[in-house]
Amino acid sequence: MVSPPSFPWTFQDVDTLLARIRGVRNTSTAEEYLRMIAMSRIMLPNIKNIQASWLTVGKKVAQMCLHAGANDFGSIMIEENVVSAAGAPHRFTYKSIQESIREAGFEPQLRTQLYQFRNIPETIEEQVINY
């Protein structure tokens, strides 16, 4: 059985009831997020795959997360509406995710949802980001 991934997300507060009614805001910093990733790697040895959530923290922080213990950058979103509606502005294509991983000093590896490695198809349609 494959260990499910852990992907700690920061709270995205834009247009949420918690923000409107209770005034709850995301005040976490990039440093705090990196610490959470590092502590997750140390304290959760039964969780094999820890994902750097580029969707909620952006490219630079997600790249640092790979050095802090995350072994999964995340994946492209075919149609992501929930987190982006709550204020996450980050977008990637499969090529830009691979470039970001390489820039961080790692080799990208395509995987299935069950974390089995697979080859990148010879022909793949580049995602158009227009949302």
Report the percentage of the chain scoring pLDDT > 70.
Answer: 76
pLDDT-based confidence at residue 37 (cuts at 50, 70, 90):
very high
Tell me the whole-structure pTM to 2 decimals: 0.76
User: What are 75-103's pLDDT values in tens digits?
Assistant: 776 555 555 555 555 667 788 888 999 99
* 3-state DSSP assignment of residue 50: strand
By residue range, what is the domain housing residue 97? 1-131
Q: What is the pLDDT of residue 25?
A: 82
The count of domains in the chain is 1
Residue 22 in contact with residue 46, Cβ under 8 Å? no
Positive or negative torsion for Cα 34, 80, 3, 66: negative
Type of residue numbered 30: A
Per DSSP, helices labelled H in the chain are: 17-22, 30-43, 54-57, 59-68, 82-85, 94-103
Q: Of 29, 14, 30, which Cα lies nearest the Cα of 84?
A: 14
